[in-house]
Structure 1
Amino acid sequence: MATDDVEATNEGACSTVRAVDRAVAILQCFTGDKPALSVLDIQKRVGLSRPTLYRLLQTLGASGLIKAEGDPQRFRLAHGVMELAHVWLAGLEKVDVARPILEQLRDSTGETAALFVLREQKRICVLELESHHALTIARGIGDTGDITRGASGKAILAFLDDKRRDAILDQVAKPRRAELVKALELVRSRGYAVSLGEVFVGAVAFAAPTFNHNGEVIGCLGVFGPKARVKDADIPRFGAQVIEAANAVSEQFGHRVAKTGKQLKPRAYRKRGAA
């Protein structure tokens, strides 16, 4: 290997292969907003000379990671990227991935933390870590509920695609539907849901959605505790913590979390109209 292909880090503790770094930079140019790029587009993003860029594109093309199409020529990610993604996704176990994040959430809030997944119109608890307090709220693994009720349900329902959400709302009685629509708007605006005694009398629950690599909501993270301990003043802090934890889980599932999104900007709690 030519010495020019290897560059040391500032500390000199390890080396990176420059050609590999450049190839990865090319692959990372493609986004959902820009799935097809010209050579000039890619060159502007990676800052490589045209000959070097063409050599790397040919190598990536031969590996099935990039394909060229059209005239003028444009490049897209190819089937090889999806094959790698399938291998990676197959190795993910949601419970194992989420457990350390839930442990941290449980310890930072002092309350029970749980992971829920979406199945049709139900949310199912697949992992629950109970609070260490003597007085605690727990649902139990396997607990199932409709996504039109409670913080965990509304956190999911609020972020479903419009068509699927509207189909579910159409099944709700009109008086409650209008109230639910307002509640979901509030959930979307602040990034998390709150319920006060809606599922369990005397309980306060928080939940924020989790997403997969396609940006589709697949469940949520929830925190719940007794109202005797969780005060109104705690709600903004708990909301921010559950959002942060849900985003961390989503990133583990392959979702690229925007650093300036509503999910990351919890708003002040408004007691009236809380979800």
Structure 2
Amino acid sequence: MDIVTGVGVLDKAMTVLQSVADGPQALSQLQQSTGYPRATVHRLAAALESHGILRRDVDGRFELGHGLVALGSAAQARFPLVELARPILSELRDRTGESVQLFVQEGRQRRCVLSLETPHGLRWIVPEGSVFPLDAGSAGRVLSAKGAATGWIESVGEREAGVASVSAAVRGPAGAVVAALSVSGPIERLSRQPGERFGDAVVAAADELFVSLGG
């Protein structure tokens, strides 16, 4: 897990849930992937199953539950940013040829809520749902309200060696920063001046999303 809340049972339950995110797992696989005792894993998985958060597939393996579908639909309805951003980020990805992401702030961290990958074999992959600090990387600095006269902020090997990125702020109708839109990839392609290459395109996409949000 990227976040440890200090509420032990909640952190453990989320670790179990994240372990089946990529596919169903038998109890023995869950025990191995989480590192928890068998009895603990079974207790947590059974409780999550009772709430519809997990379910069993035809082979008896634990799988993501149907209860998550309703929760996901409710979250999407109340948070339309992602679906509004998807076609804009898709166009930006196709225009730049690089991976693009959308981050929102959660406390002192930032979470990737949308990630579209480049077709290049050599790429920087940011899974949706990933959490990163605010104090490193161009998106983190955008969300920390560290502006730039250019409208974009770049980062070269700041959070991850060999990776460059350029980000711009997405503002809501009231003018507050609601997200950071980024292009990221290997320094070999983005160079050590990623802002010069893609800054204007990132700012234009962020502005387009601002309009879509009613700005």
Q: Structure 1, residues 204-236: CA drift from partner, whole Å, max 9, x if none?
A: 111101111111111110110101111246532
The whole-number CA distance in structure 2 between the counterparts of 1:190 and 1:98 is 22
Match of 1:226 among 182, 186, 191: 186
Alignment correspondent of 1:118: 105
The whole-number CA distance in structure 2 between the counterparts of 1:107 and 1:100 is 11
Checking the alignment, whether the CA contact within 8 Å between 1:210 and 1:220 is kept in structure 2 is: yes
Checking the alignment, whether the CA contact within 8 Å between 2:152 and 2:195 is kept in structure 1 is: no
Displacement of 1:199: 1.4
Checking the alignment, whether the CA contact within 8 Å between 1:123 and 1:219 is kept in structure 2 is: no
Match of 2:89 among 102, 124, 142: 102
Q: Following superposition of structure 1 onto structure 2, how do residues 78-157 of structure 1 map, counting pairs within 5 Å?
A: 93-157=80-144
Note the aligned Cα RMSD (angstroms): 1.7
1:197 is aligned to 2:184: no
Q: Following superposition of structure 1 onto structure 2, how do residues 211-222 of structure 1 map, counting pairs within 5 Å?
A: 211-222=171-182
Checking the alignment, whether the CA contact within 8 Å between 2:104 and 2:110 is kept in structure 1 is: yes
Q: Structure 1, residues 80-101: CA drift from partner, whole Å, max 9, x if none?
A: xxxxxxxxxx676111110000
Q: Structure 1, residues 221-260: CA drift from partner, whole Å, max 9, x if none?
A: 01101011112465323000000011111221122xxxxx
Alignment coverage as a number of residue pairs: 139
1:194/1:228 CA distance change after superposition, 3 Å: same
1:253 is aligned to 2:193: no
Q: Aligned partner of 1:95: which letter?
A: V
Alignment correspondent of 1:240: 200
Other structure's SS at 1:228 match: helix
The whole-number CA distance in structure 2 between the counterparts of 1:144 and 1:128 is 13
Q: Aligned partner of 2:112: which letter?
A: C
Q: Where does the alignment leave 5 or more consecutive residues of structure 2 unmatched?
A: 1-76
Q: Following superposition of structure 1 onto structure 2, how do residues 60-79 of structure 1 map, counting pairs within 5 Å?
A: none
Percent of aligned pairs with the same amino acid: 35
- TM-score, normalization by structure 1: 0.48
Q: Aligned partner of 1:193: which letter?
A: I
- Choose 207-216 or 229-238, whichever is displaced more: 229-238
The whole-number CA distance in structure 2 between the counterparts of 1:92 and 1:123 is 16
The whole-number CA distance in structure 2 between the counterparts of 1:146 and 1:232 is 22
Runs of 4 or more consecutive aligned structure 1 residues displaced over 2 Å after TM superposition: 231-235
Other structure's SS at 2:140 match: helix
The whole-number CA distance in structure 2 between the counterparts of 1:215 and 1:206 is 21
The whole-number CA distance in structure 2 between the counterparts of 1:142 and 1:233 is 28
1:209 is aligned to 2:169: yes
Other structure's SS at 1:236 match: helix
Other structure's SS at 2:110 match: strand
Checking the alignment, whether the CA contact within 8 Å between 2:154 and 2:193 is kept in structure 1 is: no
- Choose 148-157 or 231-240, whichever is displaced more: 231-240
Larger radius of gyration: 1
- Choose 100-109 or 116-125, whichever is displaced more: 116-125
- TM-score, normalization by structure 2: 0.61
